[in-house]
Chains A and B, each alone.
Chain A
């Protein structure tokens, strides 16, 4: 029943897991073509991408087309919403990678639903969009990778229609910059954000890693989102409504509750 398709794109691996009976080869092909198109347009690692040409000032933002305009506008909005911690220009060039993957998976999820595959889960390199149910009456069981223990889980989350994004240093080292200091953010090993939309969850998780110790308090203030913060020292803390199964308790991190963010 259903289908699993694995595809290598955007420097990582995407998995599409459809649980509805039937054949969805056509829409899966369409989704894969969409992701490759997004990669060709937005990748800062491809010299011929629209984003690279924009960065070299060969194109003006107005010449980049409606999708680039939409992503530029989302990046500006998320920078405001995160107090500057999600910053697609932190490296001095426009690099929308922290948002485009989640955004392109949101679009793909809508394409699958329109084609009749209402019960599906897309995993783009560790960022997840679930829709419907894996089996009638059951929620999706999403494992959160433990950043300190290879191939083990830090938590299990039960969700229906939801997005989960995890950002951290486990796979690619300290690559998230704190835009306010310019240095790599190293206080947190990983942050997982659960919310209704992967575009937002992805950017929020990246922002939270950049925030470091302030992340947990900030996540608690976000309406409609929950988070799990695992610090570099192995302590962890989740927001009150984080939908995880009870599991082995990890030590709780000390939290500075005086921290405020300018929103």
Chain B
């Protein structure tokens, strides 16, 4: 369970970057550089609670810079995805905050608001699993 969450957090961080990279490439840099918030935690950390808990992912070093995300779980389901640390490149950070994180959050919640227990699909490789909704569901359980 703990290892699964760790893997999924890293996956989410990677996905956030992939999603944002697409828009950055399309739209080019923007003018407003927001300050990227920074968290020092490098281990998954959970705040216990009866209904809602949060899991802080590891800092994932990507070729664009370090990324760290926090996932909120309510009743065992993903209720929110937030970016704690983003690459220093201001334009990319802007894209991640304004586009990739909301999109990822919407996708995770769309799957879960429908009360999905499990996902059937063409056989994924071990690598494909890490980018699948099934991995997110396994981590949320």
Contacts and interface: CB of A to CB of B under 8 A. Distances in A.
Interface of A: 3-4, 6, 8, 11-13, 15, 17, 101, 121, 123, 125-128, 130, 134, 140-145, 147, 150-153, 156-157, 164-172, 190, 192, 245
Contacts, number: 124
Given A6-B138, A143-B114, A156-B114, A171 B119 contact: no
A152 B110 CA distance: 8
8 contacts: A11-B125, A13-B135, A15-B138, A123-B134, A127-B120, A141-B114, A152-B107, A153-B110
Nearest to A194: B120
A218 B134 CA distance: 30
Contacts of B133: 143, 145, 151, 153
A126 B119 contact: yes
Contact of A151 (B115, B120, B125, B132): B132
Contacts of A168: 121-122
A12 B126 contact: yes
Interface in B1-57: 1, 3-4
A254 B111 CA distance: 29
Give chain A's interface secondary structure class.
strand
A147 B121 CA distance: 8
Interface in B103-124: 107, 110-111, 114-124
B125 A12 contact: yes
Given A12-B126, A13-B126, A151 B116 contact: no
Contact of A144 (B110, B120, B123): B120
